[in-house]
Amino acid sequence: QVQLVESGGGSVQAGGSLRLSCLASVSTGSLNFMAWVRQAPGKEREGVAAVYTGAGWTYYVDSVKGRFTISTDNSKNTLYLEMTSLEPEDTAMYYCAARRGWTHRALLTTEYTYWGQGTQVTVSS
């Protein structure tokens, strides 16, 4: 069973930065895709960034392109999300997710098997 534990959330003002971390109980290299998914109150879960760990290919939803960066450190079994120029619209619970095997839909939340408990990000104006 794969366990994912997120950390790094918090409250920041608009324009600020945060780095989220997700520690996996297995080698991140054994998880073909890892992603960050967020859910704002009253809204559906949204995949914001994903990475194909084998090749380092990254995928982003349009609203975060140029502001968020997803990366992995396989030596630490950790997935990161560097978030800059944060906006109030980024306020949400952020979840780490992972799957084994290929998918053509890396940002689709239903493609993911393993999930963390989430970390809250709040951006004030």
User: Pairing mode, if any, of strands 119-124 and 10-13?
Assistant: parallel
Q: What's the rounded mean pLDDT across residues 78-89?
A: 98
| Separation CA 13–CA 25 (nearest Å) | 32
- Short-list 26, 34, 25, CA closest to 56: 34
Two structure tokens written together for 56: 């380092």
- Using DSSP, state whether 16 is helix, strand or coil: coil
- Using DSSP, state whether 64 is helix, strand or coil: helix
Q: What's the rounded mean pLDDT across residues 64-85?
A: 97
**pLDDT digit string (tens) for 13-63?**
999 999 999 999 999 999 999 999 999 999 999 999 999 998 999 999 999
